[in-house]
Amino acid sequence: MSTAKFDRAALEAMLVGLRPKLHRYAARMVGSTIEGEDIVQEAAVKALAAHDGGAPVERPEQWLFRIAHNAAQDHLRRRQRERSRMTEADMTGMEDLSASAEARLAAAASLRSFMQLTLAQRSAVILVDVLGLSLFETCEVTGATLAATKAALHRGRAELKALASAPDDMPVPKLDPEEERRLRRYIDLFNARDFDGVRALIAEDIQVDVVNRTRLQGKKEASTYFGNYDRISDWALSLGFVDGRPAILICNPQADRAVRGFVLVDWSGEEVVRIRDFRHAPYCVDEADIRFGAD
């Protein structure tokens, strides 16, 4: 696709189509499906702004991944959680070993496992083994040399293999009693379809983000959100955790509590000030470490 034909509408359509892949990359880069979605949104805003500012776009897919890659790096710097367990070596002439077994291992690895890799290893393994980019496309996204990319890929694969054989000793998360009380009240009212009771909990300036769909501001707009749930019956809410964070799980009552989405609720005292609903972002559910809370 040439630069001349790549107009804003084409960019917006590409962002929609690539969103699951961009999220898969971002979530593994930062170790969180929730923060991965934040990065995808940030990358989309930056891409549209750059396009509107006249930035040349010759290979749009690689260009978008480069923006997401840089946004993930910025996020990690802000969070100050970048880890470096190995130094990169210049291993020129190393053979490209992107075998199907490597790809299966990388695709099945947890977000926590990827966070044990260095940033360069993480990028190389995700782009090559998870998303299927070539080594040259990976170099274009990350800005690294071919030799450094091969070295990072080789070492990242070796580290993932070692991690895959290690026992998973991740402790079961625990909720603060006050936060559990607030969440259970919200869930109980929602499951009882007492949406007037739910509305009584939310702040006047409530912000509702239906991820991958729409954003609503204030109680009046938020009423449409609750109304949509009131009109359907394919859900039941449960207390749980997503990537170790307290969350409300949206389950399918006809499918043995199969999780179809999740909701994050932010509080200010006893008022709900923000709701983030991931029901319409199935790619986030696929990537998340989801656990049910105690009944």
pLDDT at 103: 62
Q: What angle do CA 103, 85, 65 make, to 5 degrees?
A: 50
Residue spans of the domains in the chain: they are: 8-164, 177-292
Q: What's this model's pTM, rounded to 2 decimal places?
A: 0.75
Instruction: Yes or no: say if 163 and 109 are a contact pair by the CB < 8 Å rule.
Output: yes
8-164: CATH topology: Butyryl-CoA Dehydrogenase, subunit A; domain 3 (1.20.140)
Strands (DSSP E) found in 16-123:
none
Q: What pLDDT does 252 receive?
A: 87
Q: Given this model, what pLDDT does residue 257 score?
A: 72
| pLDDT value at residue 153 | 92
Structure-token pair, residue 37: 């979605």
Q: Class for domain 177-292, per CATH?
A: alpha beta
CA distance 217 to 289: 29
pLDDT tens for the chain, residues 1 to 295: 444 456 888 888 999 999 999 999 999 998 889 999 999 999 999 999 988 888 877 888 999 999 999 999 888 887 653 333 333 333 333 344 444 556 655 655 667 778 888 889 989 999 998 888 999 999 999 999 999 999 999 998 888 888 777 665 566 677 888 999 999 999 999 999 999 999 999 999 999 999 999 999 999 999 999 999 999 988 999 999 998 889 999 998 887 778 999 999 999 999 999 999 999 999 999 888 888 887 6
The H or E element spanning position 209 is strand 202-210
Q: What letter represents residue 62's amino acid?
A: Q
Q: What is the DSSP string of 230-271?
A: HT--S-EEEEEEETTEEEEEEEETTTTTEEEEEEEEEEETTE
Q: State phi, psi for 111 to the nearest 5 degrees.
A: -60, -35
Query: How many residues are listed for the chain in this entry?
Result: 295
Give Cβ neighbours of residue 266 (< 8 Å, ≥ 6 apart): 272, 273, 274, 275
Give residue 113's Cα distance to chain centre. 15
Q: How far apart are CA 198 and CA 202, in angstroms?
A: 7
Helix/strand/coil percent split, the chain, to 5: 50, 15, 30
